[in-house]
Structure 1
Amino acid sequence: MIKINMFSQADKVGGQGVGSAYDELIGAMKKYGQKDFDMTINSLKKSDITHYHTINPRYYLLSFFKNKRGVGVGSVHFVPETLNGSLRIPKPFKKIFDWYLISFYKRMDGLVVVNPEFVNEVVKLGISKEKVTYIPNFVSSKEFYEMNDDEKKRFRQKLGIKPDKFVVLGVGQIQKRKGFDDFVKLAKQNPDIQFIWAGGFSFGKITDGYDSYKKIYDNPPANMLFTGIIKRKELASYYNIANLFLLPSYSELFPMSILEALNCNTPIMLRNLDLYVDILGDSYLAEKDVTEMDQNLKYYSKHEDELKEFNKKSRKWANLYSEESIYNRWKEYYISLLNK
């Protein structure tokens, strides 16, 4: 049996995808890996493999004790460029942080990215391509699934939303990188549509654009609802009452929110980014910019039946990222590292 230790502090910051991805993997390891792995979490016991899910300085120091930590694996959730439009970090500190991040990744024996397009981004940091492996995110179908009509109706009633109201849902941290400005603009341009943003300021005042976004958060358009940071198990209800999930991000890897929407059989609209093509195929509406988003929101809110084809595609693509199949990829990966 392989001894594997997971190091993570992701759960200390709510409402972020890093924590969600970590929780899903831990859940799958407990469910399917009990015969293959002796898993510990944030333990200092000797292990064959140590998987670092976050880049805490303490973990960086622990990575030097190879005899006790074994093979080092790092999850790549971001590179220096992806922090632009997310956090407000003064330039001198940003340079130090960028150096630290790259140094942390170089300490690892293997790195895992959640999008195949991102392999080359990691290589650009001076890391050998042989060290980088692609394993996608996944979500549990037990927590994220399509509810029945009565359940959807009750939740709409709870929120005070009429049964025939067209609902557009956005999920994630309130950040410029997430295309939040466009989401608000679309809400203002479509007063007859109900917009909901599930998420908040996970990193508080250091969020890029915090001051202006907090004003919107405190005084939203009449047709826009903010849930704030909520527990993941509550999110499924929001996906289920949404007629459309909209994520107008400018930069992403493989958002957990997209997988959650797929599992709940919710049609998806995204900004037309190259990184989505390989991982999502034809399962979503790809829009060039906010103008196209606005045009199609107006159209589909009046022709909702035409979104049903995307319901079918959501089911197909959700099956590709099932919990058990992705766990098996992790199992093969961990074993291959030891064999090397």
Structure 2
Amino acid sequence: MLKIEMFSQADTVKGQGVGSVYDELMAMLHRHFQSKLKIDVNHYRKADVSHYHTINFPYYLSTFSKRRGRKVGMVHFLPETLDQSLKMPKWVKAIFYRYVIAFYKRMDQLVVVNPAFIPKLMAYGIPKKKITYIPNFVSRHEFYPVDKDVKRALRIKYRYDVDRFTVIGTGQIQTRKGVMDFVKLAKKYPQYQFIWVGGFSFGKITDGYPQLKQIVDNPPKNVAFPGIVDRSKMAEYYNMADLFLLPSYNELFPMSVMEAFSCGIPVLLRNLDLYKNIFKDSYASFNNFSELSKELEKIVNSQDLQKQLRAKSLKIADYYSEDRLAKIWYRFYQEQAKKS
């Protein structure tokens, strides 16, 4: 039996994707490999593989112990991606960014969820052979489609209009997520209702906090900000919607998009290069606000297009299925344990 030591504080900050990725992986490993893997969390016991999900300083110090076995690190961000999420003094930023790369370099193997990160890590001096691409996945046990009657019942439950076209966005409320465009779109189309699920996970150091906080406290009448919702309730919010919209300017492999796909709702995303390799043609896209408005109108006014997008969502969700990714992860752990 392989001994895996997980190191994570991902669940200490609510409403962010790192925690969702970690929770999905842990649940999958327990469902599929309870008799093959012995998994501990933050116990610092001797292990065949130590898997680091967050970069806390005590974890960095632990990498110098021979008890750690093969050290595997998840790459959820790089300095340039943090730059668009958090506001920090320049000297703090310089130190922290150097620490991020130093942490990654302490690993024997890194796992990226998007292949676009591989050349960026190589530019920091990390050899390609030390980087493995394993995509995110979402459990169909939690995120799955529902019929029209259930959708209607969910809107009644959460006190939303049962007959209005409903657009949902999810994620931390920050500038890079495109929340401003989300609200701007809502103002242009007051006949539809818009819901953004998420909050200020990092408080006042969130990029754009003052302006965004004012909008959240005084939203347009057709916009709701229910805040950070427990993950066990997220599928209900997706399934209330007719369309999932993420106007983010910068992403890796967003769990929110995977969750929307898994619930079988149409997806509309900003046209980012990093989506093309991982999501193919499974979504509608736009480049600017004008195109965003036109895409929304097309989707609202075409039942056929909605049907096509729902089918594409379910198809890509099947490709990133838990069963397929479970085999990939188990094989990866076996390979890493042999090298240790």
Give the CA deviation at 1:336: 1.4
Task: Tell me which residue corresponds to 2:17.
Answer: 17
- Which whole-Å CA distance do the structure 2 matches of 1:92 and 1:172 have between them? 28
CA displacement, residues 138-183 of structure 1 (integer Å, 9 cap, x when unaligned): 1110110112322211111123333331111000000111111111
Report what 1:295 is aligned to.
Answer: 294
Residue 38 of structure 2 corresponds to residue 38 of structure 1: yes
Confirm whether residue 60 of structure 1 aligns to residue 60 of structure 2. Answer: yes
When structure 1 is superposed on structure 2, of 143-152 and 264-273 the one drifting more is 143-152
**1:273: Cα distance to partner?**
0.6
Paired residue for 1:48? 48
1:149-168 aligned within 5 A: 149-168=148-167
2:247/2:270 contact within 8 Å kept: yes
Q: Quick one: percent identity of the two aligned structures?
A: 53
Alignment coverage as a number of residue pairs: 339
Identify the residue that residue 254 of structure 2 maps to in structure 1: 255
Q: Is the 8 A contact 1:115 1:275 kept in 2?
A: yes
1:51-73, Cα deviation, whole Å (9 max, x unpaired): 000000000000011x2111100
The alpha carbon displacement at 1:334 in A equals 1.3
Letter in 2 for 1:219: N
Conserved 8 A contact 1:190-1:298: no
Mapping of residues 274-293 of structure 1, within 5 Å: 274-293=273-292
Partners of 1:47 and 1:70 within 8 A in 2: yes
Q: Which amino acid aligns with 2:297?
A: K
Q: What one-letter code is carried by the residue in structure 2 that aligns with 1:310?
A: L
Counterpart amino acid of 1:273? L
| Counterparts of residues 261-340 of structure 1 (less than 5 Å) | 261-340=260-339
Unaligned runs of 5+ in 1: none
TM-superposition CA deviations, 1:194-217 (whole Å, max 9, x none): 110000000111101111111100
- Measured after TM superposition, the shift of residue 301 of structure 1 is 1.9
For residues 310 and 76 of structure 2, what CA distance do their matches in structure 1 show?
29
Per-residue CA shift, 1:282-302, capped at 9, x if unaligned? Answer: 110011112101111123223
Distance in 1 between residues matched to 2:232 and 2:304, nearest whole Å: 28
Give distance in 1, aligned partners of 2:120 and 2:300.
Answer: 38
Q: Bigger CA drift: 102-111 or 279-288?
A: 279-288
Aligned to 1:141: 140
Query: Which secondary structure does the structure 1 equivalent of 2:199 belong to?
Result: coil
TM-score w.r.t. the length of structure 1 is 0.98
Supply the AA of the counterpart residue of 1:309.
Q
Cα deviation for residue 339 of structure 1 reads 2.6
Contact 2:187 2:220 (8 Å CA) reproduced: yes
CA contact (8 A) 2:74 2:112 kept: yes
Segment of structure 1 superposing worse, 88-97 or 141-150:
141-150
Q: Which amino acid aligns with 1:48?
A: D
- Distance in 2 (CA, whole Å) between partners of 1:183 and 1:266 is 18
- Verify the 8 A CA contact 2:2 2:337 in the aligned structure 1: no
CA deviations 1:251-272 (Å, max 9, x no partner) are: 1110000110011001000000
Q: Distance in 2 between matches of 1:177 and 1:249?
A: 6
- The alignment status of 1:91 with 2:90, answered yes or no, reads yes
1:132 aligned onto 2:134: no
Q: Say whether residues 1:28 and 2:21 are aligned partners.
A: no
**Are the counterparts in 1 of residues 284 and 295 from structure 2 also a CA contact under 8 Å?**
no
Q: Deviations over 1:185-242 (max 9, x none)?
A: 1111111111100000001111011111111000001110011001011111111111
Deviations 1:76-134 (A, max 9, x none): 00000001221111111000001000000000000000011111111111111100000
Secondary structure, in 3 states, of the residue corresponding to 1:14?
coil
Is the 8 Å Cα contact of residues 285 and 295 (structure 2) preserved in structure 1? no
| 5+ residue gaps, structure 2 | none
